[in-house]
Structure 1
Amino acid sequence: MNVRIEQSLANSYSYAEYRNHVSQLLLEGLSTGATQSEDLTHYSTLNEVRMNRLDKTIKIPQEVQEKLGDLKKEQTLLVISEGWCGDAAQILPVLNKLAEATDKLELRIVLRDDNTELMDNFLTNGSRSIPKLILIEPETTTVRGSWGPRPHGAVQLILDAKEKFGHITPETKADLQKWYLQDKGISTMEEVVLLLNNTENM
């Protein structure tokens, strides 16, 4: 596992590099990932707009800032993502804000379809669901925990929709985006900071 983590980190992007990579592909009419389609390019374009907005509007609450200030160990947030993923577009800007707020965190991003062996070690109910955050101890590349692909509230919204309709409807996808809009990244911050604090106490 450590070797796989090291290889993935070597091929990873910073947040700025990831954003630039997705943007450059879109200029060529392409999306990230092994599969290309008009839908995926369309989703990637929507996500660009969402991420630009979130980069400007996400604010870290005082209580979250204080917990970040209490971190004693350096940790790497390695996130598996793709440019077309709507959940990743909502979550990556939040993780970037957390990493910018403390010198104890470094955010690195890898593409799922380029790192399938890594992805297959962090499946969600047998699925390659993204984004997936892997918490890594930098000195040893030891995995300390993982999180994702969504905050608990968003997970529940999807589960309720599947139980009611048997599948995810377009209305469900719209409801999910509304949920993220109203949540303002708070759930992601609180859950990730809880994971960080728990690993420090291990």
Structure 2
Amino acid sequence: MNIETTVEKSRTASLKETIASSMSYEEYRILVAEKVASKSSTGPNQSEAYVNYTKLSDARMRRLDKTIKISKALNNAALNYDKKVTWLILTESWCGDAAQSMPVFHKIEQLNSNIKVKVALRDDNIETMQYFLTNGGMSIPKLVAIDEITNKVIGEWGPRPTVATKMVSDYKAEHGMLTPAFKQDLQVWYTKDKATSIMEDALELL
């Protein structure tokens, strides 16, 4: 048995374990709302900042759940998708990028029963997260598409839409780190973009 096969088997086993204990999108939304009500956050960091980020994420998801309009191209692609697939999303309640993208993936799930969105908390599933790092980091959200018949990973997405990823990398290259002001600008960009970039990326998963 070669090393690659060994790693793949370990990854498959880790994914199965994570999916078995995962939540539906609706269950995740309830969890986040409960965290807001108790002035807390998922994960070990219970700082005031993370509690506030969780509150912001809850408000964003609530708004997007009501207002997102799926593009015609994405709607057609979702309706015609014929593989049985699980979209596992690794995230935490405080993650602003997740709040912008998860409602889109849930809308797609609602269009086709072949697509099942499952949500797992990153910090409860570190072993699985280690298989899906971004530039060596545990960036979230991370969507992993798994074929339900073969258990093979057939796609990945995250932590941000392609356009936003370039914005972040360009800013880091110039300034060395992301400032609070840039993070605020990024959220403004998400609002203006109206999930268009996320939907374009989602087409690549279908």
Is the Cα–Cα contact under 8 Å of residues 98 and 189 in structure 1 kept in the other structure?
no
Q: Does residue 1:185 correspond to 2:195, yes or no?
A: yes
Structure 1 gaps, min length 5:
197-202
2:47 paired residue number: 37
Match of 2:92 in 1: 82
Percent pairwise identity:
43
Mapping of 1:81-100 within 5 angstroms? 81-100=91-110
1:131 aligns with 2:141: yes
Unaligned 5+ residue runs, structure 2? Answer: 1-10
Name the SS for the 2:117 alignment partner. strand
Runs of 4+ aligned structure 1 residues displaced above 6 Å come to: none
Within the candidate set 9, 15, 22, 2:19 is matched to 9
Which residue of 80, 83, 103 maps to 1:70?
Answer: 80
Structure 1 length normalisation: TM-score? 0.93
Paired residues in the alignment total: 196
> What is the TM-score with the length of structure 2 in the denominator?
0.91
Counterparts of 1:47-66 in structure 2 under 5 Å?
Answer: 47-66=57-76
Instruction: Tell me by how many angstroms 1:16 deviates.
Output: 0.7
Cα RMSD of the aligned pairs, angstroms, is 1.1
The residue type paired with residue 125 of structure 2 is: N
Does 1:23 pair with 2:33?
yes
**Alignment partner of 2:88: what SS?**
strand
1:97-120 CA distance string (max 9 Å, x none): 111112221100000000000000
